[in-house]
Structure 1
Amino acid sequence: MSVYDEIGGAPAVKAAVTVFYERVTSDPELATWFQDVDLTRLKAHQRAFLAAALGGPELFTGRGLDAAHAHLGITSEAFDAVVEHLAVALHDLGTDDDVVARVRERLDALRGEVVTAVSA
């Protein structure tokens, strides 16, 4: 069974993405990266990406992570904070701790494609 199935499939991904964006857009350390962004479009994109990253249907057709994040200057600390917000969202929605840990591992493997700035 994939991590996607273990967390509850499409409904769980949709709920997690909704809670996740509520959290990151309210976080003063992260909010600036999401200003002037079409969140409806970004949420749809994130649902497709997350589904594919967690072993669900391959609906993701966006740019590669490196191309999508290259101009954003994302630090390792910001990456960690975003992963933490997603982990908390999944946990709050009832996802088992071992599954959340596997999601963290999958996302951490993508760090090199997202982090583009040296931390202060």
Structure 2
Amino acid sequence: MSLYDEVGGAPTFERLVHAFYEGVAADAPLRALYPEEDLAPAERRLRMFLTQYFGGPNTYSQERGHPRLRMRHVPYPVTLDMRDRWMRHMLDAVEQAGIPEPQAEQMRDYFLRAAHMLVNTDDGHGHPPLTP
């Protein structure tokens, strides 16, 4: 059974991603990284991506092709501060979604690795961007 199924499938991922974007909407510096006025399209893309990554339907790849996370994030200045803000909202969302352990730990581990990998810009405090 996939993690997607273990945590309750689509309803759980809807709660998770919606809670995450509620946090983003209230975080002005992080919200500024999202070019669309309405966060609904970003919410849908993330929900499709996470659904697929954790073993659910592959709608993301059918609609958008290979995820190419680093490539898709290159246009945006992802600093250590932005990474930390993103993580704070995602960790809160995991909790709000009621995801049980050990699945929540697996998700937190993935989110931490992915967020760290996407840092691409010096934050102005002497922290250089990561290199692939």
Q: Which sections of structure 1, spanning at least 5 residues, go unmatched? A: none
Deviates more, 1:92-101 or 1:9-18: 92-101
TM-score, reference length from structure 1:
0.83
Q: Deviations over 1:94-116 (max 9, x none)?
A: 11243222112112332465221
The aligned residue for residue 45 of structure 1 is 45
> Deviation at 1:82?
1.2
**Contact in 2 for aligned 1:24/1:85 (Cα 8 Å):** yes
Mark the CA change 1:77 to 1:99 in structure 2 (over 3 Å): closer, same or farther: farther
Mark the CA change 1:71 to 1:23 in structure 2 (over 3 Å): closer, same or farther: same
The aligned residue for residue 93 of structure 2 is 89
Higher helix share: 1
Distance across 2 between alignment mates of 1:39 and 1:54: 22
| Structure showing greater Rg | 2
Q: Which sections of structure 2, spanning at least 5 residues, go unmatched? A: 126-132
Q: Deviations over 1:37-67 (max 9, x none)?
A: 4422211111110112222222213352112
TM-score, reference length from structure 2:
0.77
Distance across 1 between alignment mates of 2:101 and 2:29: 25
> Deviation at 1:22?
0.7
The aligned residue for residue 32 of structure 2 is 32
- How many residue pairs align between the two structures? 120
Matches within 5 A, 1:5-24: 5-24=5-24
